[in-house]
């Protein structure tokens, strides 16, 4: 019988990483000098998640998908993605600005033989005073203007900059230029892809190699959506004790659950796994068969498609992201 699964955290040190993964989320990333990202649910080659607890402890996520198929991920999901788990969940600590970057969509990624495209979303968990991020352009931009701005080192003049506060959501479809700004701790939900085209890296030099990181300006040109949009921040109702939809895309649906009372969630209408991501507070997830798992801020659980109902028992106020494939 499948049960809510937790996985061993995969830690990533980054040139821009900091200490909040340990200081705020309580995750020990030693002996790494910093931690920029934790990969919590991953089927990226070379970084496949391993079950942390229960009778399936030690099994990889890929092994589970191959063995349980639709029972784990949902028949619709399995028919669409086969043995590849379609979502990647991370926590990101930006102690410095990340690179200005863009990700390809599925069509371009397939043409370049780099797997899936990368549509993603961010949920801001903690923000230092004045923290900002980039999502998209601040006006309509042509491809020619973009190429000139990269060559002239004036690309930052074209970027839409947003202030960011805890609880803010930003949805970033593939093709949108973006970067996470210094001072932000966030949860990221994305397609299973590690394909990033760096456009500008603020002329940083790696302390170990003494070299600047590789840029992919030529690859980025055809990946970018050059349109301008009126609002780049995702608007949603911040209600208490209700499930509120924040993102509904072709690749994932994400609801925000701000709860301070016990609630039962029925997933019989969803032909998909569900990932519950605790972004504030703590809770216990109770599943049929007497199985339960506790989550604190910065922890996740994967609810298999065969588990129809779970009961969420908050320990005071908690916020959970509930995400699945539509």
Residue that is written with structure tokens 């080192």 in the block? 153
pTM listed for this prediction: 0.95
Which residues in the chain land under pLDDT 70?
Answer: none
pLDDT for position 93: 98
pLDDT of residue 68: 98
pLDDT in tens, 283-301: 999 999 999 999 999 999 9
Task: Identify the pLDDT of residue 297.
Answer: 98
Closest CA to 254 of 162, 320, 165: 320
pLDDT at 204: 86
Q: What is the pLDDT of residue 213?
A: 86
DSSP-derived letter for residue 60 is: B
pLDDT at 62: 98
The dihedrals phi and psi of 107, each to the nearest 5 degrees, come to -65, -50
Query: What does the alpha-carbon distance between residue 23 and residue 89 come to, in Å, rounded to a whole number?
Result: 20
Residues 276, 303: Cα–Cα separation, whole Å: 8
Residues with catalytic function: 198
Surface-to-core class of residue 3, CB atoms within 10 Å of its CB (0-12 exposed, 13-18 middle, 19+ buried): buried
What is the predicted pLDDT for the residue at 221? 95
Choose among 220, 219, 203: nearest CA to 211: 203
> Could you identify the residue written with the tokens 């309580």?
26
Distance of CA 187 to the CA centre of its chain: 5
């Amino acid at each position: 019988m499948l049960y809510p699964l937790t996985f061993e955290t995969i830690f990533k040190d980054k040139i821009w990483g900091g200490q909040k993964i340990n200081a705020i989320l309580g995750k020990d990333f030693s002996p790494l000098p910093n931690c920029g990202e934790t990969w919590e649910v991953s089927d990226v080659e070379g970084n496949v998640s391993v079950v942390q607890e229960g009778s399936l402890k030690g099994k990889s996520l890929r092994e589970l998908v191959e063995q349980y198929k639709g029972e784990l991920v949902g028949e619709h999901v399995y028919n669409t993605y086969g043995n590849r788990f379609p979502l990647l969940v991370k926590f990101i600590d930006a102690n410095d600005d990340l690179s200005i970057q863009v990700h390809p969509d599925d069509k371009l990624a397939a043409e370049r033989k780099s797997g899936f495209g990368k549509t993603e979303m961010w949920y801001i968990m903690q923000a230092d005073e004045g923290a900002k991020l980039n999502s998209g352009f601040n006006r309509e931009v042509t491809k020619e203007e973009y190429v000139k701005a990269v060559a002239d080192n004036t690309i930052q003049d074209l970027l839409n900059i947003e202030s960011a506060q805890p609880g803010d959501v930003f949805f970033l479809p593939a093709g949108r230029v973006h970067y996470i700004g210094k001072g932000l701790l966030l949860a990221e939900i994305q397609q299973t892809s590690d394909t990033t085209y760096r456009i500008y890296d603020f002329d940083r030099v790696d302390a170990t190699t003494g070299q600047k990181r590789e840029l992919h300006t030529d690859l980025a040109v055809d990946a970018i959506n050059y349109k301008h949009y009126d609002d780049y921040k995702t608007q949603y109702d911040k209600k208490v004790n209700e499930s509120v939809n924040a993102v509904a895309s072709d690749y994932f649906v994400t609801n925000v659950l701000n709860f301070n009372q016990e609630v039962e969630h029925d997933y019989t209408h969803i032909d998909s796994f569900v990932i519950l991501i605790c972004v504030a507070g703590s809770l216990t997830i109770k599943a049929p068969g007497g199985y339960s798992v506790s989550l604190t801020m910065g922890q996740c659980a994967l609810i298999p498609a065969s588990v129809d109902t779970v009961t969420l028992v908050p320990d005071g106020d908690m916020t959970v992201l509930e995400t699945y494939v539509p």
